[in-house]
Copies of this chain bind each other. A is one copy, B any other.
Amino acid sequence: MNTSQPTILVFHPNQSKEYAACIHDYGFTSVKTASTPEEAENQLPGTEVILGWNFPTQLLHKPAASSVRWFQSIGAGVDDLMADPSIPENLPITRIVNQFGTYISEYVFTFLLYLLKDVPRIRQSQIDRSWDPFTSESLTGKTIGIAGIGSIGAEIVRKARAFDMDVHGLSFSGKQAHLVDRHFTADEWEDFVKELDYLVLTLPLTRATHHIVNRDILSAMKSNASLVNVGRGELIAEEDLQAVMRSGHLQAAVLDVFEKEPLPEDHPFYSMPNVYITPHLSGPSTTEGVSHFFVENVKRFLEGQPLHGLVDRKRGY
């Protein structure tokens, strides 16, 4: 380990000690922790790097934060930070990338297969002690469209290939367009969705993607298509989706993220038979995974190399 170690502050409401222990195990000895805004303010002087979740960002403008040179967010989405005027414009912010693809792609195929093979019918037959063979379809030849082809989208593409699906994609940058059979740009949403059997949202939430999936887009989808949202709740105009699901236009909506989380107990989604709700669990941040990613980034930071997951403030992710 390089002797010139940066002073690290880990902020997490209830897991700061676990992250610190993990980072310490990698040989970093100058690691402080805080779980409340007060603790954070006390620990800030001398801190060069923050690893934070729900960090009290208003502290970043105080003199105590003048030594902070980089902020690593715990999580793939930084829409909350981008919308936060407290973040100094020149402070580099990084987000976690390449950590969630495995889990989120497994989540997507769990539900695609659960619905396709009609597992609820199978389970009910067992309860009824009835022998009810039926033929279900195959994913082979079905078309999946992935909106957002970052590290998560790319992993969904890879698994879709193993299921011999046709893979379409829409992205703003077009950087990974080569991964998909057909690529669409941000002004081709209707063309993109109209041939899909499955639309999967993995987009970051930015001003450009807020409520991008509205009534027009949902109506342009095939009536037997299904929607999966593992990005952010605000990508979808939820009231429009409610109306569409009530009309029976789509076969299923599988939602891991919502405009308001936790989803309020009285939300209509809970009782809609074609809506499948999961409590924002598709891409869990494991302490080990995040710490490993962070430590690799610290090494790059010390060596002056470009950081992984560096957020483009203008683009918003």
Provided the pairs A113-B113, A119-B114 are in contact, do residues A133 and B280 lie with their beta carbons within 8 angstroms? yes
Q: A110: CB under 8 A from chain B?
A: yes
Q: A26: CB under 8 A from chain B?
A: no
B131 near A263 (CB under 8 angstroms)? yes
The residue on B at minimum CB distance from A110 is B113
CB neighbors of B among A124-169 (8 A): 125-126, 129-136, 138-140, 158-159, 161-164
B138 near A106 (CB under 8 angstroms)? yes
Q: A83: CB under 8 A from chain B?
A: no
B106 near A163 (CB under 8 angstroms)? yes
> Chain B contacts of A284 at CB under 8 A?
135-136
Residues of A in contact with B (beta carbons under 8 Å apart): 102-103, 106-107, 109-110, 113-114, 116-117, 119, 122-123, 125-126, 129-136, 138-140, 158-159, 161-164, 261-263, 265-267, 270, 276-281, 284, 286
> Chain B contacts of A134 at CB under 8 A?
281
Once bound together, how far apart are the Cα atoms of A184 and B299, in whole Å? 43
A161 near B162 (CB under 8 angstroms)? yes
A133 near B265 (CB under 8 angstroms)? no
The number of times this chain is found in the oligomer is: 2
B110 near A119 (CB under 8 angstroms)? yes
A280 to chain B, nearest CB (A): 6
The residue on B at minimum CB distance from A266 is B129
Provided the pairs A159-B163, A281-B136, A286-B135 are in contact, do residues A110 and B102 lie with their beta carbons within 8 angstroms? no
A contact face: mostly helix, strand, loop, or mixed? loop
A262 near B138 (CB under 8 angstroms)? no
> Chain B contacts of A125 at CB under 8 A?
277, 279
B281 near A135 (CB under 8 angstroms)? yes
B106 near A113 (CB under 8 angstroms)? yes
The residue on B at minimum CB distance from A103 is B138
Once bound together, how far apart are the Cα atoms of A125 and B277, in whole Å? 9
Once bound together, how far apart are the Cα atoms of A261 and B133, in whole Å? 11
Provided the pairs A131-B262, A135-B284 are in contact, do residues A113 and B103 lie with their beta carbons within 8 angstroms? no
Once bound together, how far apart are the Cα atoms of A139 and B159, in whole Å? 12
B140 near A102 (CB under 8 angstroms)? yes
